[in-house]
Structure 1
């Protein structure tokens, strides 16, 4: 029976038989292709084809084909289904024991995955890249990824990473990373405006001048205080003798605006990320803009895992291009 076919309830006695140690099973285990053996042992260990495929960084359909090929080669069923899910058949238990014994004898090392260090501006990670990075990890459980958040120019200058995504002024990526990098790529230009939650501001009562802001609580992310292009907003905040909240967390900034009737400075795309937020245009006479840049460490830009992260970031920004078009 193929492991993909379902069976009725299996008796526990079927799986309590002693594991065979006959030379024939050992010989068959020795002759198995290493890739098929790895797929089988990981599936047996995980007890779930989907999780095993994630651990191996392959599609579940490919893993099932490999296991079917192995069953055809051995002319027996290695897996069966029971009430609690997938289980090894008697032959599967015998093969697992032999492969474990062979692995111990050969002292096979664990294949080390290269560590990829990704440094990202905190707001970009939260709003734009976070979802796609989660999807990457869902598909590839064996990846080694170190994600570093950048919340200031000082953090950008101090970081060491393989891929860096940061925010800078318009027209130039400077100041950028302090280590040698490839030619920086401009990913997007962001327009910043004050935002408020829709539920706290009816259309007729929304502020349309700086004077109208006097009755609203302003919330300021500390990371914005040193941004040269945000001088109009920062000057307004600094003039306040009351009604100001200073925050060191971007996520808390969003929560305050959503839930506390606050007004805060956010990128213009935020209403696409959270439809409960709305911009208040026309309050300032000059635009407040920043640009998103990406660069790759010159020493590791040729590595496959690094290129995988670079392509993911580039594709994410390409797919969200309409977010940044005013």
Structure 2
């Protein structure tokens, strides 16, 4: 309050409030840093601090701290919860409108993220890498990632990517990608065995020899027909006059094994990935194996996002190394 004694009224005191309008605090909006303004606007748009942090590629604790400091500076509560839903308070709506106007005036540039191309053997993408890629996207919603599934040697030879993860039948990384990469890194050796669903095969009735397979339907992923190292299995499938299903879809082949009493060739790690399946060792004397190789494009190997994807793959295989031990 101000104490003013007006002329002509000696001995009296006039109580008058300062001449501030209710929305004077909005004038401070022009001084809000661009990144803090973005934190507020993205949080308002997402209606969720966690989702906003993902979109901004920062930790949620950092976001909440910045917004708390903004509220303290403005001396206004900008957000409120209605049940579990995050909404803007009346003052938050006013600030949102003000920052929207300022954003148009400033024409703040949008930071473009580099587009990263990841090419992965389809079976590895489905069984091993998919879950960790989902976790990566949950943490970083601003990334631009194109995932290319490699379902044949031709696809591998024709693809152009920043990071490539592929399989070979021998100890060499060849045949590999045709673009120039750094030194390929071998991540694992995979052994392959026929598998069947446990519920369709009692222990005493499981096949002990190739001849015993005559009583079971076989299912084959068509990609495996191209693999020389799978010749024992491929020859068996080709000799079948009945009781065989050939599929283009790896995921559908898995469903057929799980749900249709079929036997199919799968990596030995599959019993760890899906405990409803059981391997059938000893049916073939000749081992069937693949090597897993990782390489990074020479032209983009220094890009931070490319390094992040490559390291995620290395970590995934390192964490699952027990899956690949024979």
Q: Same fold (TM over 0.5)?
A: yes
Structure 2 counterparts to residues 139-154 of structure 1, below 5 A = 139-154=139-154
Q: Distance in 2 between matches of 1:109 and 1:183?
A: 38
Partner of 1:71: 71
Deviations 1:103-140 (A, max 9, x none): 10112222111111000000000000000111111111
3-state SS of paired residue (1:77): coil
Contact 2:25 2:74 in 1 (8 A): no
Contact 2:78 2:90 in 1 (8 A): yes
Which stretch has the larger CA shift, 52-61 or 179-188?
Answer: 52-61
Contact 1:170 1:189 in 2 (8 A): no
Report deviation, 1:85. 2.2
Q: Distance in 1 between matches of 2:119 and 2:85?
A: 40
Deviations 1:236-274 (A, max 9, x none): 111111111111100011011111111110000000010
Cα 1:243–1:51 change in 2 (3 A) is same
Q: Distance in 2 between matches of 1:131 and 1:29?
A: 42
Report deviation, 1:170. 2.7
Report deviation, 1:79. 1.2
Partner of 1:59: 59
Q: Distance in 1 between matches of 2:113 and 2:201?
A: 51
Report deviation, 1:21. 9.9
Partner of 1:278: 278
Structure 2 residue 42 is the aligned partner of structure 1 residue 39: no
Q: Which runs of 5+ in 1 are unaligned?
A: 1-19
Contact 2:181 2:298 in 1 (8 A): yes
Report deviation, 1:48. 1.4
3-state SS of paired residue (1:282): coil
Report deviation, 1:24. 5.2
Report deviation, 1:22. 5.7
Structure 2 residue 202 is the aligned partner of structure 1 residue 163: no
Contact 2:42 2:52 in 1 (8 A): yes
3-state SS of paired residue (2:170): coil
Structure 2 residue 85 is the aligned partner of structure 1 residue 85: yes
Q: Distance in 1 between matches of 2:46 and 2:270?
A: 40
Contact 1:169 1:229 in 2 (8 A): yes
Contact 1:43 1:52 in 2 (8 A): yes
TM-score by length of 1: 0.91
Instruction: Determine which structure has more spread, i.e. the larger CA radius of gyration.
Output: 2
Structure 2 residue 2 is the aligned partner of structure 1 residue 25: no
Partner of 2:8: none
Report deviation, 1:141. 1.1
Q: Distance in 1 between matches of 2:124 and 2:80?
A: 46
Q: Distance in 2 between matches of 1:107 and 1:22?
A: 24
Partner of 2:114: 114
Cα 1:84–1:261 change in 2 (3 A) is closer
Q: Which runs of 5+ in 2 are unaligned?
A: 1-20
Contact 2:39 2:67 in 1 (8 A): yes
Structure 2 counterparts to residues 250-269 of structure 1, below 5 A = 250-269=250-269
Q: Distance in 2 between matches of 1:213 and 1:89?
A: 68
Q: Distance in 1 between matches of 2:66 and 2:169?
A: 52
Q: Distance in 2 between matches of 1:83 and 1:135?
A: 27
Q: Distance in 2 between matches of 1:216 and 1:58?
A: 53
3-state SS of paired residue (2:226): coil
Deviations 1:139-186 (A, max 9, x none): 111111100000000000011111000011231110000101111111
Partner of 2:5: none
Structure 2 counterparts to residues 1-326 of structure 1, below 5 A = 25-26=26-27, 28-83=28-83, 85-326=85-326
